[in-house]
Copies of this chain bind each other. A is one copy, B any other.
Amino acid sequence: MTTENGGHGQNAGRDDRDDSFHVFDTTLRDGAQREGINLTVADKLAIARYLDDFGVGFIEGGWPGANPRDTEFFARAREEIAFKNAQLVAFGATRRAGGSAAEDPQVKALLESGAPVITLVAKSHDRHVELALRTTLEENLEMVRDTVSHLRSQGRRVFVDCEHFFDGYKANPTYAKDVVRTAHEAGADVVILCDTNGGMLPAQVQAVVATVLADTGARLGIHAQDDTGCAVANTLAAVDAGATHVQCTANGYGERVGNANLFPVVAALELKYGKTVLPEGALAEMTRISHAIAEVVNLTPSTHQPYVGVSAFAHKAGLHASAIKVDPDLYQHIDPERVGNTMRMLVSDMAGRASIELKGKELGVDLGGDRALVARVVERVKERELKGYTYEAADASFELLLREEVEGRPRRYYRTESWRAIVEDRPDGTHANEATVKLWAKGERIVATAEGNGPVNALDRAMRIALERIHPQLAQVELTDYKVRILEGRHGTESTTRVLVTSSDGDGEWRTVGVGTNVIAASWQAMEDAYTYGLLRAGVEPAE
């Protein structure tokens, strides 16, 4: 066992690294506690690679020994990943009361993981020692001292997480500080103050961290949960007070509300504090890495996440749009490219000429020269938005409208004569959904009928049957999302319906909109725009 420390190939070349500030990620351990996240070993390996690419200094991989999946993760990570930036960290607890660290099976499993760094969780709240550990305050200190010393004697770097530190400090500041001092004196490199139930506010965190730092002399870290919505601020408040180690999770995943979100913490340190905490160029990968990790854990990326959300630099207000034309920095606190994100102009009824021009530019259509054209587009958008259309979420429908004005006529790949959908609830309780479409394409009249699991699905299938021979490119187009919104909620079932459809052809996604008093007719409109845009993307020439 004693030779293991020399054998961590994945940590080669890391010794020359600046150790003065730690970005410590615990997505794979604490982040995985989030409701709805259930990581396989392959998921964990994929996330570890992304985190290493991003350039965090430490990746806490799990609790080897406590969980067979975590044991396997450590074994495979050592084999399969050539870490460029990060060191792998195993998480575990101090030894059992009354035993010895050297013989504690849980402590042995930590060493066997081969991780060069070990985080030990220790109780620092007197009541928890008594209620949950059921031992004495003195024995708890001994457990910290013994376990840290033993791991140090085995050549491992040790960090100590003081669980419930802030509540413990409030209840018994002397004892809470004794735990910090004991860990520090036994050889822990960093002692992390954890706001385990997440109830703290920044001013309180800052005051406690400053006092503990002054009173113990230990190097301190911060682990914040987001139950007050202040985890990022609490993390930065601790840094303000002298903490030099921040524990975070990608996208703020974690139990209950979540943990301090790695991305805004790192962005604030780099962009607001002017600290260098990532390798050069890594910050510009942040948006991509945030979304990629969301994909791996199978959660939709939060559209409104600071810095990396697709809406983080999206502008809607007409007031703002005209100011942004003058100077983009007026309504952006940073250049979105610094974090790999982009500015987007939303087209909405609050928007005027300025946002239409900017949107045209984004779509590669230059409207700058033609004021009459822009005025026509503004007019049509306003008129349609009054009817319930929205273009801010339907770029493809907007682009079709824009092209129609630029090119003088709509793109048409076929002409619909009529369609019909029938939904039947039969006496035996089963449903029948049948649709028929009649259309013209390349001079030919086509009639097709299909069944589906709903009337819209039946129409979609009928359309595909009708068009597949004439426009085989449609086979690539898939409807991937479908949203319905009732606009005037005060007229019962006579309300206006807006349907938003997301489509994909494997290379990209686009969104289209349809509106009507009739959900089926609104869906049909949105689907027609979706097919048309799909054929436009495929480079097909209009046929009608």
Contact = CB atoms under 8 A, between A and B. Distances in A.
Interface of A: 33-36, 38, 40, 42-43, 46, 67, 128, 131-132, 164, 196-199, 201-203, 226-230, 232-234, 236-237, 240, 252, 255-258, 261, 264, 267-268, 272, 296, 298, 303-307, 309, 311-317, 320, 322-323, 326-327, 330-334, 346, 348-350, 390, 392-393, 416-427, 431, 433, 438, 452-457, 460, 478-495, 497, 501-503, 516-521, 523-524, 527
Contacts of A197: 330-333
What is the oligomeric copy number? Answer: 2
Contacts of A320: 255
A485 to B, nearest CB: 5
Residue among A40, A493, A494 with the most chain B CB within 10 A?
Answer: A493
Contact of A417 (B256, B420, B427): B427
Residue among A226, A309, A421, A520 with the most chain B CB within 10 A?
Answer: A520
A162 to B, nearest CB: 15
Given A232-B228, A421-B423, A346 B35 contact: yes
Contacts of A438: 427
Residue among A198, A332, A490, A502 with the most chain B CB within 10 A?
Answer: A490
A311 B198 CA distance: 14
Given A202-B236, A493-B456, A257 B196 contact: no
A314 B35 contact: yes
A188 B326 CA distance: 30
A257 B493 contact: no
A307 to B, nearest CB: 8
A201 B479 contact: no
Given A199-B272, A422-B422, 9 more contacts: A34-B304, A128-B323, A228-B306, A256-B313, A257-B305, A423-B455, A433-B518, A453-B494, A481-B489
A303 B35 contact: yes
Residue among A196, A228, A349, A483 with the most chain B CB within 10 A?
Answer: A228
A32 to B, nearest CB: 9
Nearest to A461: B493
B312 A519 contact: no
